[in-house]
Amino acid sequence: MQHLFQLIPGKSKKKVIKLLESEPVIIRVTKKRISKHGDFRKKANGDFFITINESTNPYRFLITLLHEIAHYIVFKKYSSISKPHGPEWKLAYRKILLPFLNKQIFPDQICRCLAHYMKNPKASTDRDLNLFMALRKYDKKGNYSLILEIEKGQSFRIKGGRKFIKLNKRRKLYECREVSSNRIYLFSPQAEVIPSL
């Protein structure tokens, strides 16, 4: 638990301790996974556990922790009859997140974006572009950019090494042409890429 408390904002610790005392669940911090920030499961022996990606961004870590605790609460109450991000989860998540929604815990911009996000929370905070961008300011910077930051016509590589050129925007996604195959692929605005120099 000590490691967990090093990963969340300092002013949130008392509230997290109180929440975990009322909702006893095993929490494990894992290495970063590309497909998700965290998850909740019930083990075969009946234990409940949450895994959360280790993060240098305390605000993202806290939001993910509260997201997964909401899954635990809903599963305890409804078992498997409710949808993973259905109305029961949305209500539980709002109820858990609300006491944390203040400027002593979150910076002003994240607080405002979270207040908007709470009206109808999605399965991932990454699906809310404003919240994603507000949280990104507190991520450790790497040598990557987001597709939305790349200029039209600029080339870039993805982590596997394939090279693309950014083309047009289609509603929310970006068309990009793979250089080697000439095929068109669609990228989310938040996709992390390495711009060509």
Token digits of residue 100: 């944390």
CA–CA separation, 70 and 1 (whole Å): 19
Q: Are 101 and 126 in contact (CB under 8 A)?
A: no
- For domain 145-195, say whether CATH 2.30.30 is its number: yes
- pLDDT at position 134 over 80: yes
Q: What is the pLDDT at residue 111?
A: 95
Q: Measured between alpha carbons, how far is residue 11 from residues 5, 19, 94, 151, 158 in Å?
A: 10, 14, 19, 39, 37
pLDDT range class, residue 183, cuts 50, 70, 90:
very high
Q: Could you state, in order of their start, the residue ranges of all structural domains in the chain?
A: 2-136, 145-195
User: What predicted TM-score, i.e. pTM, was given to this entire model?
Assistant: 0.81
- The closest alpha carbon to 170, from 187, 150, 192, belongs to 187
**Is it the case that residue 189 has pLDDT exceeding 80?**
yes
As given in the structure block, the two tokens for residue 174 are 């970006």
pLDDT over 90 for what percent of the chain?
55
With a cut of 90, say whether residue 64 has pLDDT above it: yes
Q: What is the DSSP letter of 9?
A: -
CA distances from 74 to 40, 135, 141, 181 (A): 11, 26, 35, 46
